[in-house]
A and B are shown apart, each in its own frame.
Chain A
């Protein structure tokens, strides 16, 4: 079993839809959680960073962490074609290396 599971997609949604991206994990030592967006042939860009259970909102993005269920989500409201990219979840115990999900490819159709 992989430490981090992420549905690879692709996920296609119409413009304006609410997108839900998810990751599950098995290592209870993970304490810090991140979401990155990666456009084709570019490096990952940090979108959200959180270390507590609950929700964190930044503009159209909301990150949700449920440590009891070992489940994290990223919600994108009012999705735009420019949101089309691969989204990587990432997580780490304190002071150790980061474990990345395999990424979910998202396509927002105009």
Chain B
């Protein structure tokens, strides 16, 4: 099946630090990747949709300057949380979709971000 790798799985850092999270589709080309945030015992909250070679589309209320997304190739998208603060602590999950829009998303294993 389709495999999506996300790295790192857990990061702890000081307030003010910028953190980069990588999302790779290992065995398929992902024209579209998605970034989600998940709070404890809650469902997934879409942050942005990332299309290869173009600017990401952010959901309402998500600061694009705070959460920088780059999708430079068909197999890699990155999310950079800039100048992270404790309120940014959360579980971030990426997903990737095969190049046909009717295909389902496949998720990475998530990144637990803790800002001290």
Q: Assuming the A-B contacts A100-B44, A102-B43, are A43 and B104 also in contact, with contact meaning beta carbons closer than 8 angstroms in the complex?
A: no
Stretch of B12-20, B68-76, B78-86, B105-113 on the interface side = B105-113
Q: Is the interface of B mostly helix, strand, loop or mixed?
A: strand
Count of chain A to chain B residue pairs whose CB atoms are closer than 8 Å in the complex: 46
Contacts of B112 in A (CB 8 A): 41
Known: A94-B102, A103-B43. 18 other contacts (CB 8 A): A32-B102, A36-B107, A41-B110, A43-B93, A43-B109, A44-B44, A44-B93, A46-B1, A46-B104, A46-B105, A46-B106, A49-B104, A88-B44, A90-B104, A94-B101, A95-B101, A97-B46, A100-B44
Interface of B with A (CB < 8 Å)?
1, 4, 6, 41-44, 46, 49, 91, 93, 95, 101-102, 104-110, 112
